[in-house]
Amino acid sequence: MTDAVLLAACRTAIGTARRGTLRDTSAFDLATVVVREAVRRSGLPLDLIDDVVLGETLAGGGDIARYAALEAGLTHVPGLAHNRHCASGLASVATAAAGVLAGMDRAVVAGGTQSSSTNPQARRRIPGTDDWQDPWSSPSHAPTREAPNDDMATLVGWNTARLTGISRQDMDSWALRSHQRAVRAIDDGRFVDEIVPVEVTDRSGGVSVFDTDEHPRRDTSIEKLAALKVLRPETEGYSITAGNSSGVNDGSAAVVVASSEVAARHGLTPLATVRSWASVGVDPVETGLAPIAAIRKALDRAGLRIEDVDLFEINEAFAAVAVAATRELGLDPERVNPFGSGCSLGHPIAATGTRMIVTLAHELRRRGGGTAVAAMCAGGGMGSAMVLTV
């Protein structure tokens, strides 16, 4: 039986939205960069690529995957737009692996792209009236006071902290550690092999190369984090701040998923093997707890236990999410988010899931093998996880 293996994995550096280096680079251009580079790194002939699947949350409802396929010279390849909110990039890799394991695809480019700096704005006519709601975002669930659609800090961060007894200090301490680990990883060159440089033209016409994550804060401290105002001061006990939340970011990531038989036939060495994946639904109030169930389900499908896993990345959409999962699952904190995550590296929404896979695959190779789990929550009460081995 064939395995679904990664033949290439790359990403852009992550930019800070609206004021960072990628503020004028579209999701289309970001996608093209990583799709083209992932195919090049894979070593596969172009005619073996059967599809391109990209997460493109909040991108306007088009099909950036097909756009990127054409720009990358894959004229014969269709494209699929994936939207599982924050888990879209992870879902794209799962969809690619499923096609390969089913014997329907030989190789698929999968990933995600996000330009929060240039996201289009939607509007709609309010039903029963001639009035327009502007801006408007498509809801993931029927909103309630405890689970609002338009307030992720409450839906995910505050609910998670409130339901699990996580304090402001717990979250700030986790966020500080996230920044420290991300900065150390950058300084140690941990991300160099996975990052594909992006050529950026600024508004004055100057050209530069963007190849280093710019969101981590070198100068942050527990005192600075503690001094930040909470986002909803009108709510008693509220503890979510910009400091213990993920960033708003730009970036893209892509992998090439192929069958192990195709890899062997072409003399190619896989980066990693996709062992299993799982997605779950929970009450929207418990969105931030969904990664817990997803991790358990994915590990069960792989026939593995928590103790078998060398590395976890649990996306810090809010620090509370990673803290809650670490405590509930009894994880060794030293194995969780060793190079930072959403609070520090940032959260380019549709790309984050694939970015996590890219980083974990490269780190497992660097370590000479092992098992890793990527997991995250997604708006509306969803969670996803994937297991990789090297």
Q: Which residues are catalytically annotated?
A: 86, 347, 377
318 alpha carbon, distance to own chain's centre: 13
**By the 8 A CB rule, do 254 and 10 touch?**
yes
CA distances from residue 203 to 21, 25, 207, 214, 318 in whole angstroms, order as listed: 11, 11, 10, 19, 33
Q: Which amino acid appears at position 336 of this protein?
A: V
**By the 8 A CB rule, do 361 and 390 touch?**
yes
What is the crossing angle of helices 168-187 and 319-329, to 10°? 100
Q: Which of 253, 238, 254 is nearest to 153 (CA)?
A: 238
Q: Which two tokens stand for residue 148?
A: 């609002």
**By the 8 A CB rule, do 145 and 89 touch?**
no
Alpha helices in 246-368 (DSSP H): 260-265, 290-302, 319-329, 349-367
Q: Which residues contact 129 (CB under 8 A, 6 or more apart)?
A: none
Each residue of 81-118: b (16+ CB within 10 Å) or e? bbbbbbbbbbbbbbbbbbbbbeeebbbbbbbbbbbbbb
**By the 8 A CB rule, do 196 and 163 touch?**
no
**By the 8 A CB rule, do 35 and 78 touch?**
no
